[in-house]
Amino acid sequence: MFSDWRRILIFGAHPDDEIIGVGGTISRLSSMGKEVYVVTFTSGDTGYSRPEDRGIISEMRIKESQASDRVLGITERVILGRPTQGIVNDRETYQECVRLIRRYRPDVIFTHWNRDKHRDHRAVSEITEEAWWKAQENVLADMGTPWRAGELYFYEVNELFTFPSLLVDISDTLDIKLKAMETQSSQMDVLPNIMEYIRALAQVRGYLRGSRYAEAFLASSFLGKLE
């Protein structure tokens, strides 16, 4: 499967979501010379555990995301600047995602699961799936040439899949994923025991796969799969 993917596009609500959900897979793909692009909807501006950090948290998290990009080998990240806890499936945001899909022309897209507890995660999931469809249509000509990514997968952050569609072996890249998460120093008090959670979930998913560690994904049926 990886041999068919040249360009990968990941949508996330907050700067650390792609680390938690896809970090090990990102590292595997980037080490193979694949292009991995990340679209982050917000700067994570509510992610502070001390009142005095309120005015500086966005800048802190942007710098932390730049550090994690270097660790994981992310080709490019776009931060849309939408308000945390306030992502809305409006016309502007939706069309921007269509434009980005056409710009990066991904073979596969990863996004949040639409059954996640976090309102931002659910909103991103809905916008991404719909933009996946609209990007292929011969409309909005000023936003790029129509493009259809062959596959779209949801990743896990807060809620877990009962029956994953895809389990990716990250036995060789879990340590890199954890190193990337360590760059998110502002989030260690916001997400207590997050390092333990990441390792434990990877071990559980690895058990299902028959490898030491793995990440789980669920295929979207919104458009079907190209053969």
Distance from C-alpha of 61 to C-alpha of 14, rounded to nearest angstrom: 9
pLDDT at residue 227, as a whole number: 55
pLDDT at residue 117, as a whole number: 95
pLDDT band at 226 (very low <50, low <70, confident <90, very high): low
The residues, ordered by sequence, that sit 6+ positions from 91 with a Cβ below 8 Å of its Cβ are none
Q: State yes or no: pLDDT of 2 exceeds 90.
A: no
Total domains in the fold of the chain: 1
Amino acid letter, 169: D
pLDDT at residue 225, as a whole number: 62
> Considering the domain boundaries, does residue 226 fall inside one?
no
The mean per-residue pLDDT over the stretch 89-118 comes to 98
> Considering the domain boundaries, does residue 39 fall inside one?
yes
Q: What is the mean pLDDT of the chain?
A: 96
pTM recorded for the entire structure: 0.96
% residues pLDDT > 90 (the chain): 96
The mean per-residue pLDDT over the stretch 103-127 comes to 98
pLDDT at residue 193, as a whole number: 97
Q: State yes or no: pLDDT of 175 exceeds 90.
A: yes
Could you tell me the residue range of the domain that residue 12 belongs to?
2-219
Is 61:15 a contact under the CB 8 Å cutoff? yes
pLDDT band at 82 (very low <50, low <70, confident <90, very high): very high
> Considering the domain boundaries, does residue 37 fall inside one?
yes
> Considering the domain boundaries, does residue 78 fall inside one?
yes
**CA 50 from chain center: how many Å?**
26
- In this structure, the number of other CB atoms found within 10 A of the CB of residue 192 comes to 11
pLDDT at residue 223, as a whole number: 87
pLDDT digit string, tens, across residues 93-103: 999 999 999 99
pLDDT at residue 94, as a whole number: 98
pLDDT digit string, tens, across residues 26-45: 999 999 999 999 999 999 99
> Considering the domain boundaries, does residue 65 fall inside one?
yes
pLDDT digit string, tens, across residues 119-165: 999 999 999 999 999 999 999 999 999 999 999 999 999 999 999 99
In the numeric block, the tokens 């994904």 are attached to 217
> Considering the domain boundaries, does residue 227 fall inside one?
no
% residues pLDDT > 70 (the chain): 99
> Considering the domain boundaries, does residue 225 fall inside one?
no
pLDDT at residue 124, as a whole number: 98
> Considering the domain boundaries, does residue 56 fall inside one?
yes
CATH number of the domain at 87, please.
Answer: 3.40.50.10320
pLDDT at residue 188, as a whole number: 96
3-state helix, strand, coil in the chain (%, to 5): 45, 20, 40
The one-character DSSP state at 27 is: H
